[in-house]
């Protein structure tokens, strides 16, 4: 190509590289823990391979704030971000702004976990590719359970009792900032995921059932919320009411808590070379709500989607296919304990060695509780917001569980009348 022409095109953002026009793609990656760094390594590898360049747009840690940012960008039809990391519960909400990937993906989607594929579709169209799967887990300090001769708790009341005992013991030894149990209590999507686990573990359902019926106003749900409110200020610091994932991990990883509820990503960090709790941690299913209850972990996870407003949809889709492909999912599983969504990787020895809990807790992942995102469609964020605000009021002792849930039921019915 004549040099003057290459110069002109470069000034316009296009560069001739490895036999094709190279472009700059921007991707929004979350930056929880090591997420940014691990995302960067992946996109850099793709950039090197294809000759394109990639800009990473970092986003807020709170899922709810991240969604608000995306909605703002997409509503304005902005082409600033080509590839969005989206939550499994956002596909319905954002679908109208995303590119249908069905034709681009060909057979690759069949390799992924069916539950994750379901979260990627809207009305039969594939609006995103599964990237990693999450489920809520109980992290515990094995060394402290050994010291106090306590088993891993099976029910929430076991957990409460053990947390109290160990907290008292550690404080007597001068560790005034030691707590029994940390989790995510800020009024945001993360609290919805925690509270769905409590309610579902007491057999109180998951807010709205698969047929779209609102089920949250029931005595089991009230019992679950009452138990959780009882933790705040006793075995859990009041500050939890403003914690997202990273604040709870901060307390746990500093060695200042016995139990933590979190997603798989916290494992790789707890086991990191600089971690004070390295080799002292175990992972178990979250406790049951009493003997008749069940172990429940909320299904979470992230997908990659291409914006409809992207100026380079084909190249953006190529990046999505690379990042969600087997090589990257394996690397991310080993380095960051991100659970793969490609089924065959569950038989991979390197991933299993790095994350023994994945094999041990197959049930938690296969029976994870879904939030009612598909059934409520683009009303999901309203439903979840009403739910987490109600739960937050109960936790901060501004409302009684039963009354708060009947008010919530009324508010959800109002939303439902506008259609889901
Ligand atoms: C994690 C999960 C996501 C969930 C969010 C809540 O990012 O992958 O599904 O909504 O946490 O904070």
Mean pLDDT of 273-301: 96
**CA–CA separation, 407 and 225 (whole Å):** 14
Q: What are the residues whose beta carbons fall under 8 Å from the beta carbon of 11, sequence distance 6 or more?
A: none
Please report, for the chain, the start and end positions of each structural domain, with discontinuous segments joined by +. 20-134+299-366, 137-297+375-416
**CA–CA separation, 130 and 116 (whole Å):** 6
Closest C-alpha to 137, from 233, 270, 230: 270
**CA–CA separation, 144 and 280 (whole Å):** 8
pLDDT of res. 418? 87
Contact 263, 134 (CB under 8 A): yes
**CA–CA separation, 334 and 132 (whole Å):** 12
pLDDT of res. 107? 87
Question: What are 166-195's pLDDT values in tens digits?
Answer: 999 999 999 999 999 999 999 999 999 999
Ligand 1 atom with the smallest distance to the CA of 300 is: 9
Q: Is the pTM of this model over 0.85?
A: yes
Going from the Cα of 52 to the center of ligand 1, the distance in angstroms, rounded, reads 30
pLDDT at 14 exceeding the cut of 80 = no
Ligand 1 pocket, 318 CB below 6 A? no
Secondary structure of 173-223 as H, E, C letters: CCCCCCEEEECCCCCCHHHHHHHHHHHHHCCCCCCECCCCCECCCCHHHHH
Closest C-alpha to 227, from 281, 272, 183: 183
CATH topology of domain 20-134+299-366: D-Maltodextrin-Binding Protein; domain 2 (3.40.190)
Percent of the chain having pLDDT more than 70?
A: 95
Same topology for domains 20-134+299-366 and 137-297+375-416, yes or no?
yes
Question: What are 102-157's pLDDT values in tens digits?
Answer: 999 888 999 999 999 999 999 999 999 999 999 999 999 999 999 999 999 999 99
Secondary structure of 127-180 as H, E, C letters: CCEEEEEEECEEEEEHHHHHHCCCCCCCEHHHHHHHHHHHHHHHHHCCCCCCEE
Ligand 1 atom with the smallest distance to the CA of 88 is: 9
Going from the Cα of 197 to the center of ligand 1, the distance in angstroms, rounded, reads 13
pLDDT at 12 exceeding the cut of 50 = no
Nearest-CA residue for ligand 1 atom 12 is 190
Evaluate whether the domain defined by 137-297+375-416 bears CATH number 3.40.190.10: yes
Question: What are 332-373's pLDDT values in tens digits?
Answer: 999 999 999 999 999 999 999 999 999 888 889 889 999 999
């Amino acid at each position: 190509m004549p040099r003057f022409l290459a110069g002109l095109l470069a000034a316009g953002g296009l560069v001739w590289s490895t036999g094709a026009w190279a472009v700059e793609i921007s991707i929004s990656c979350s930056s929880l823990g090591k997420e940014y760094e691990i995302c960067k390594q992946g996109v850099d590898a793709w950039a090197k391979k294809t000759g394109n360049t990639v800009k990473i747009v970092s986003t807020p840690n709170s899922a709810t704030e991240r969604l608000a940012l995306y909605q703002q960008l997409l509503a304005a039809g902005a082409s600033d971000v080509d590839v969005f990391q989206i939550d499994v519960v956002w596909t319905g909400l954002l679908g109208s702004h995303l590119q249908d990937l069905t034709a681009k993906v060909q057979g690759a989607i069949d390799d992924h976990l069916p539950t994750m594929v379901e979260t990627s579709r809207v009305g039969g169209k594939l609006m995103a590719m599964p990237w990693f799967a999450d489920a809520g887990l109980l992290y515990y300090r094995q060394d402290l359970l050994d010291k106090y001769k306590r088993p891993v708790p099976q029910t929430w009341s076991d957990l409460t009792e053990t947390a109290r005992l160990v907290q008292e013991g550690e404080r007597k030894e001068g560790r005034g900032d030691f707590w029994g149990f940390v989790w995510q209590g800020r009024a945001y999507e993360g609290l919805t995921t925690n509270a769905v686990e409590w309610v579902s573990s007491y057999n109180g359902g998951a807010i709205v059932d698969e047929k779209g019926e609102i089920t949250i106003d029931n005595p089991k749900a009230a019992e679950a919320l009452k138990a959780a409110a009882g933790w705040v200020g006793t075995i859990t610091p009041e500050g939890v009411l403003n914690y997202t994932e990273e604040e709870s991990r901060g307390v746990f990883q500093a060695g200042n808590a016995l139990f933590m509820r979190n997603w798989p990503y916290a494992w790789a960090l707890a086991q990191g070379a600089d971690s004070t709790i390295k080799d002292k941690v175990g992972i178990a299913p979250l406790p049951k709500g009493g003997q008749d209850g069940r172990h429940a972990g909320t299904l979470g996870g992230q997908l990659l989607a291409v914006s409809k407003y992207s100026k380079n949809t084909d190249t953006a889709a190529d990046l999505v296919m690379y990042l969600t492909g087997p090589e990257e999912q394996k690397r991310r599983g080993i380095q960051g304990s991100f659970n793969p969504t490609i089924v065959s990787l569950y038989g991979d020895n390197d991933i299993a060695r790095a994350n023994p809990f994945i094999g041990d807790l197959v049930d938690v992942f296969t029976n994870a509780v879904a939030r009612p995102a598909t059934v409520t469609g683009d009303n999901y964020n309203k439903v979840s917001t009403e739910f987490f605000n109600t739960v937050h009021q109960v936790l901060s002792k501004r409302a009684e569980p039963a009354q708060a849930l009947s008010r919530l039921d009324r508010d959800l019915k109002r939303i439902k009348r506008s259609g889901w």
